[in-house]
């Protein structure tokens, strides 16, 4: 005996079951059960313990202080009180970050914050009836060294690629140099402050990208993040008509080309489209070159290619030519 399973039929049966009177009654019962349980917990005099995490924020760190151990980002506080009070702490999430002003706790080689300081800061945020059971870690120390100072240029670690028909006209960082605090032996090995690796593709518009500098143990950057500015432009084609000019022809000789002008087609950035005209290009054909030619066709080439253009081609790519005698030939009687 075979059974045909229909997903649509299953969903419909499930929907009807959930909307049935029995399901509604069960839902109402569970809701009131949860409410009653909460009220029961609130009304009892039982106590409970719970651990909360409180963020720690370091303030006013001197520029030349370089942490050599990772600063703790939080402390864990276990407290005890009546159930109703603890539920209130849990629901309101009412603990604010504890601020540690670094200069107040600078030791010889570590920032050492006593446990009593955290107890005091936590006590300010809890009710007088609440007991602090424990605070972890019970030893809050951050080791540091006082680094020497130098400035280094910022360099990108990564690649930048444009979308099709676009190109990068300029890139620059802001700021373009950063202050680096580190032991002198580390500074002596550095030539630049490199960013974290960042590969960016399909650039088609001016972009401003925030990038953190690459972390190095014992090194502190100010600022720790820089902005990479990428300027782009779009490629377009431009066509100009340029005459062919003979050069170094002796008296009585002249250069003739058919056609006498060719089209120069090249790729240029859209913003520079109006920058170039026919006067920027010279197609010069020398007498010596034509004397050595193996046919009566000359392959067009350009003698000076302006900066900023690419993908140059000529139409036509070859022209017919002749060296014409003009005036009286030398030695004629």
**Tell me, what's the pLDDT at 40?**
60
**Tell me, what's the pLDDT at 3?**
46
Integer Rg of the chain from CA? 40
Q: β-strand 47-59 against 74-82: which pairing, if any? A: antiparallel
Domain 43-146 shares a fold with domain 236-325:
yes
Burial degree of 170 (CB within 10 A; 0-12, 13-18, 19+): exposed
Which CATH architecture best describes the domain 43-146? Beta Complex (2.170)
Q: Where are the domains of the chain?
A: 43-146, 148-234, 236-325
**Tell me, what's the pLDDT at 294?**
84
Distance separating alpha carbons of residues 59 and 219, to the nearest angstrom:
19
* CA nearest to 97, candidates 74, 115, 81, 76: 74
Each residue's pLDDT tens digit in the chain (333 positions)? 444 445 566 556 555 655 665 655 666 666 666 666 656 655 555 888 999 999 999 999 998 898 878 888 999 999 999 888 888 888 876 689 999 999 999 988 889 999 999 999 999 999 999 999 999 988 899 988 888 889 999 999 999 999 999 999 999 999 999 999 988 888 999 999 999 999 999 999 899 999 999 998 889 999 999 999 999 999 999 999 999 999 999 998 999 999 999 999 999 999 899 999 999 999 999 999 898 888 889 999 987 788 889 899 999 999 999 998 886 554 443
3-state secondary structure of 152: strand
Write out the CATH class of domain 148-234: mainly beta
Do 83 and 157 touch, CB atoms closer than 8 A?
no
**Tell me, what's the pLDDT at 331?**
45
How is the beta sheet containing 131-136 ordered, strand by strand?
A: 98-101, 47-59, 74-82, 131-136
In sequence order, the 6+-apart residues with CB closer than 8 A to the CB of 25 are: none
**Tell me, what's the pLDDT at 159?**
96
CA-based torsion, 294, 296, 301, 303: positive or negative: positive
Bridge partners (DSSP) of residue 66 are 145
**Tell me, what's the pLDDT at 332?**
45
Fold classification of 236-325 is RNA Polymerase Alpha Subunit; Chain A, domain 2 (2.170.120)
pTM more than 0.75: no
């Amino acid at each position: 005996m075979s059974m045909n399973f229909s997903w649509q039929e299953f969903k419909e049966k499930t929907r009807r079951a959930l909307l049935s009177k029995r399901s509604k009654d069960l839902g109402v019962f569970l809701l009131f059960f949860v409410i009653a349980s909460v009220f029961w917990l609130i009304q009892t005099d039982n106590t409970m313990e719970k651990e909360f995490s409180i963020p720690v924020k370091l303030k006013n760190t001197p520029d030349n202080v370089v942490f050599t151990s990772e600063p703790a980002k939080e402390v864990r506080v276990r407290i005890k009180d009546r159930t109703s009070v603890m539920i209130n702490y849990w629901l309101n999430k009412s603990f604010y970050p504890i601020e540690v002003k670094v200069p107040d706790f600078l030791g010889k080689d570590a920032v050492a914050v006593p446990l009593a300081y955290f107890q005091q800061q936590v006590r300010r945020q809890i009710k007088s009836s609440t007991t602090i059971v424990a605070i972890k870690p019970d030893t809050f120390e951050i080791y540091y060294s006082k680094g020497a100072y130098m400035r280094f240029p910022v360099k990108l670690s990564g690649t930048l690629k444009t979308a099709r028909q676009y190109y990068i006209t300029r890139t620059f960082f802001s700021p373009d140099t950063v202050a680096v605090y580190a032991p002198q032996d580390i500074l002596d090995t550095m030539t630049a402050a490199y960013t974290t690796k960042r590969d960016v593709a399909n650039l088609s518009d001016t972009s401003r990208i925030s990038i953190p500098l690459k972390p190095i143990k014992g090194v502190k950057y100010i600022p720790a993040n820089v902005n990479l500015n990428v300027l782009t432009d779009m490629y377009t084609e431009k066509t100009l008509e340029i005459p062919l000019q003979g050069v170094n022809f002796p008296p009585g000789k002249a250069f003739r080309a058919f056609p006498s002008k060719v089209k120069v087609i090249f790729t240029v950035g859209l913003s520079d489209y109006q920058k170039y005209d026919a006067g920027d290009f010279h197609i010069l054909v020398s007498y010596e070159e034509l004397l050595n030619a193996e046919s009566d066709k000359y392959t067009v080439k350009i003698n000076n290619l302006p900066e900023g253009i690419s993908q140059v081609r000529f139409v036509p790519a070859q022209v017919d030519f002749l060296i014409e005698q003009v005036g009286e030939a030398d030695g004629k009687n």
